[in-house]
């Protein structure tokens, strides 16, 4: 029996805490073989992003075709896609290869506050990728930016924004509450039929670099292993919470350090 394969289509993080590097670490930690398509090279560390170099759209297409023509991909996670032509190339590739599970993490702003997506790319993201996704995973600022609305401050507002995001054609939305306040970090999994409140104790740490990438990759890993969407989301939240709780032990960098993807293997 072969190992399940998940593919990440995202940007590279030179400091190793987010993007492609976080995704591959997450896949490995959760027992899934990881393949990657790099959409952009970023020069970044725990303190910020200093440069971004986008890959040409035809190279993104070539990477996707190379992976799908040889590997049996069970799930795809899409992260940083900063240009419209790249988004359109990915959408065409998804239609060509028809993967069963696509997780879209609309990476618009880095943990450090650096904006990563141009306005026309945001429109393309909603138009081209959301309808092809099984789930979209924005955080609170990203959900607000996608809807051109104020950041939700109450749980009823979060749920309402989740329902509005469903209108772009995705069957499920997970709005991540890590940027909120209070003792709990509350995520909302919203589908056309339900809204589920997923709470975890908020962890007091500045080392949260790559949490969004890690969560969406963990969901993709669960789907690749055959879990239901709800189980994949629940298990991903447990994994990420534990990775954040162990983050301070790593001591990497001088800014927002990475989470500990391999916490379960350390004693």
Which positions are annotated as active-site residues? Answer: 176, 208, 210-213
The CA-atom distances, in angstroms, between 116 and each of 42, 49, 107, 109, 162 are 10, 9, 7, 5, 22
Q: What is the dihedral of CA 127, 165, 83, 54, to 10 degrees?
A: -140
Strand order in the sheet with 195-201: 48-54, 33-45, 5-13, 73-78, 101-104, 135-136, 172-175, 184-191, 195-201
Strand 195-201 to 184-191 pairing:
antiparallel
**Token duo for residue 78:** 């899409």
């Amino acid at each position: 029996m072969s190992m399940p394969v998940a593919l990440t289509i995202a940007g590279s993080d030179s400091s190793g805490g987010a993007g492609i590097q976080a995704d591959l670490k997450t896949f490995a930690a959760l027992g899934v073989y990881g393949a990657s398509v790099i959409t952009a090279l970023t020069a970044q560390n725990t303190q910020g992003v200093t440069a971004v170099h986008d890959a040409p759209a035809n190279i993104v297409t070539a990477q996707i075709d190379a992976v799908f023509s040889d590997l049996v991909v069970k799930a795809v996670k899409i992260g940083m896609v900063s240009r419209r032509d790249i988004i359109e190339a990915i959408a065409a590739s998804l239609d060509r290869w028809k993967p069963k599970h696509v997780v879209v993490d609309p990476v618009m702003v880095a943990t450090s506050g650096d904006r990563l997506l141009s306005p026309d790319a945001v429109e393309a993201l909603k138009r081209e990728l959301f309808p092809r996704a099984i789930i979209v995973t924005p955080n609170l600022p990203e959900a607000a930016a996608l809807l051109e609305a104020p950041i939700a401050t109450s749980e009823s507002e979060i749920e309402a924004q989740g329902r509005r995001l469903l209108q772009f054609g995705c069957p499920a939305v997970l709005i991540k509450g890590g940027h909120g306040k209070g003792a709990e970090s509350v995520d909302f999994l919203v589908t056309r039929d339900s809204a589920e409140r997923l709470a975890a104790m908020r962890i007091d740490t500045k080392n949260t670099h790559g949490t969004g990438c890690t969560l969406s990759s963990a969901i993709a890993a669960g789907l690749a292993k055959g879990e239901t969407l709800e189980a994949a989301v629940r298990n991903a939240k447990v994994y990420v919470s534990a990775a954040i709780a162990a983050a301070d032990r790593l001591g990497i960098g001088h800014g927002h350090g990475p989470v500990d993807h391999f916490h379960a293997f350390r004693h």
